[in-house]
């Protein structure tokens, strides 16, 4: 039972949500905080591929959407797309170098922030302004720094699901 992903996944998601809404909410650089919930989706794509990255992106996005004043589902949509995209992009990448997940997390975080602003703007939220470059840079750099921890955290939580096993088995 200790190695069951049905137990570890909710623990990881709740732990990530608590980290995002408590500790990281107070750690701001230029008024911007890291986006650990986006990093969970990215880490899912890095460790387990496109499908698991998308699933983790949807779950982490819906959880953080409950705490944001933006339209419900905006984070879920963007995080799903980013997690899927990272999984697809990572399919042919050799992961022998330690810096590959770090660079992937940084680049995908910047892409996620820009996509979030674009989709939010299409939904009528005023998100594209001069501060977007600062937000993308800070989130990209901070998520790159946090990437090794997040990848290990997500890797632990997925357990046997990384090999393609289903939750019902």
Minimum mean pLDDT range among 6-20, 86-100, 109-123: 86-100
Does a structural domain hold residue 167? no
* Kind plus residue range of the DSSP H or E element containing 49: none
Segments forming the whole domain that contains residue 72? 5-160
Compute the mean pLDDT over every residue in the chain, rounded to the nearest whole number: 91
* Position 165 in a domain: no
- Residue 101 forms part of a structural domain: yes
In a domain? residue 98: yes
Whole-structure pTM value: 0.91
- Is residue 75 a part of any domain in this protein? yes
Q: Do the beta carbons of residue 57 and residue 35 sit within 8 Å? A: no
Query: Which single residue is written with the structure tokens 């039972």?
Result: 1
Q: At residue 169, does pLDDT exceed 80? A: no
Q: What is the DSSP letter of 97?
A: S
Model confidence pLDDT, tens digit, residues 98-133 = 899 999 999 999 999 999 999 999 999 999 998 999
Q: In total, how many domains does the chain have?
A: 1
Tell me the per-residue pLDDT of 45-67, one tens digit each, with 9 for 90 and over: 999 999 999 999 999 999 999 99
In a domain, 154, yes or no: yes
Query: Domain for residue 22, yes or no?
Result: yes
Per-residue three-class SS string for 114-152: HHHHHHHHHCCCCCCCCCHHHHHHHHHHHHHHHHHHHHH
CATH value at residue 100: 1.10.1760
């Amino acid at each position: 039972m200790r190695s069951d992903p049905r137990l570890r996944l909710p623990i990881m998601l709740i732990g990530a949500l608590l980290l995002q809404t408590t500790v990281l909410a107070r750690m701001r650089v230029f008024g911007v905080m890291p986006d650990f919930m986006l990093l969970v989706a990215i880490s899912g794509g890095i460790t387990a591929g496109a499908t698991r990255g998308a699933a983790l992106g949807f779950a982490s996005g819906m959880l953080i959407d409950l705490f944001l004043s933006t339209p419900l589902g905006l984070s879920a949509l963007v995080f799903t797309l980013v997690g899927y995209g990272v999984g697809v992009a990572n399919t042919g990448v050799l992961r022998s170098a330690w810096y590959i997940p770090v660079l992937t997390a940084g680049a995908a975080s910047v892409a996620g922030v820009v996509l979030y602003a674009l989709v939010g703007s299409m939904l009528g939220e005023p998100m594209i302004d001069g501060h977007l470059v600062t937000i993308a840079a800070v989130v990209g750099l901070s998520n790159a720094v946090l990437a090794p921890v997040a990848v290990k955290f997500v890797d632990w939580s997925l357990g046997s699901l990384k090999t393609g096993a289903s939750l019902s088995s």
